[in-house]
């Protein structure tokens, strides 16, 4: 009963919820989401020092995927955001297959193969990333809509931060544990989880204005078309 309560609450709210049909703006958001996700896989090899916290360079790109799914969730609904999550997973799998196919091809010279191998991660890290992604992103979609149902569509800042904060914690714990457990001491493992989560949490809090802006832009509440048309008309008349 307790486990099924969030889904029952979400479904009851969805019956009365007004959702925007999928359109060109959804395709653009989906493209940004997949772009941030795939990019994060390539730039994660660089480690950075942010305020004394060691994090991969992908922390911003990957955190942006939660911003995209929150905008999609709020405007287009739960199914549309779930489609985005599975599209991102398909893009990740395709990326791995294509990178491996390029690695198999015979190189012109040894140095080219050595440079190419920079793109390759260990199978354990790739698997950890895939599992963490699926669990955390699907949790984010459900948690976002749970809080939306609880607040009856009010307080976007609450559902954005409440869902993302927990989802990022789940993602960090799963990835760091699966990727590095047994290869680093437990103390360092906990420090890695804490440092990455603190940076992700700060980014999640800072992205709230961008979620509000994205939602308003997609819903055309800022009347940008009218503004652009007036600018074009004034430019052509002059």
The string of DSSP codes covering 11-79 is: HHHHHH---PPP-HHHHHHHHHHHHHHHHHHHHTTSEEEETTEEEETTHHHHHHHHHHHHHHHHHH-HH
How far is the C-alpha of 141 from the C-alpha of 145, rounded, in Å? 6
Q: What is the CATH number of domain 13-237?
A: 1.10.1760
Arithmetic mean of pLDDT, 3-22:
71
75 is written with which tokens?
Answer: 């405007």
pLDDT value for 222: 57
Identify the three-state secondary structure at position 183: coil
Domain boundaries, the chain: 13-237
Task: Quote the pTM value.
Answer: 0.83
What letter would DSSP give residue 219?
T
The residue ranking higher by pLDDT, 228 or 199, is 199
| Per-residue pLDDT tens digits for 167-188 | 999 999 998 898 888 877 888 8
Give the model's confidence band at 137: pLDDT under 50 very low, under 70 low, under 90 confident, else very high.
very high
Nearest partner of 75 among 183, 221, 175, 186, judged by Cα: 221
pLDDT value for 2: 41
| Per-residue pLDDT tens digits for 30-84 | 999 999 998 888 887 777 888 778 788 888 899 999 999 999 999 998 899 999 9
CB proximity list for 189: less than 8 A, separation 6 or greater? 176, 177, 180, 181
Identify the H or E element spanning 84: helix 78-104
How far is the C-alpha of 189 from the C-alpha of 173, rounded, in Å? 9
Contact 137, 180 (CB under 8 A): no
Identify the three-state secondary structure at position 99: helix
Compute the chain's Rg from CA coordinates.
Answer: 20
């Amino acid at each position: 009963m307790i486990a099924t309560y969030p889904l029952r609450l979400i479904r009851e709210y969805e019956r009365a919820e007004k959702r925007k049909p999928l359109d060109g703006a959804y395709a653009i958001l989906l493209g940004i989401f997949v772009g941030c996700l795939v990019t994060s896989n390539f730039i994660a090899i660089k480690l950075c020092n942010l305020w004394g916290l060691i994090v991969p360079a992908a922390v911003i790109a990957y955190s942006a995927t939660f911003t995209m799914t929150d905008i999609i969730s709020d405007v287009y609904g739960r199914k549309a955001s779930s489609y985005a999550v599975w599209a991102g997973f398909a893009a990740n799998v395709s990326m791995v297959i294509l990178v491996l196919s390029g690695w198999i091809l015979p190189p012109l010279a040894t140095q080219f193969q050595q440079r190419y191998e920079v793109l390759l991660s260990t199978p354990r890290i790739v698997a950890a990333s895939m599992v963490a992604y699926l669990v955390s992103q699907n949790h984010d979609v459900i948690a976002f809509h749970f809080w939306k149902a609880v607040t009856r569509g009010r307080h976007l800042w609450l559902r954005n931060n409440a869902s993302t904060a927990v989802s990022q914690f789940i993602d960090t714990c799963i990835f760091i544990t699966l990727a590095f457990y047994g290869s680093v001491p437990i103390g360092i493992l906990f420090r890695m989880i804490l440092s990455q989560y603190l940076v992700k949490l700060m980014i999640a809090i800072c992205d709230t204005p961008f979620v509000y802006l994205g939602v308003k832009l997609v819903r055309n509440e800022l009347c940008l078309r009218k503004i652009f048309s007036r600018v074009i008309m004034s430019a052509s008349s002059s």
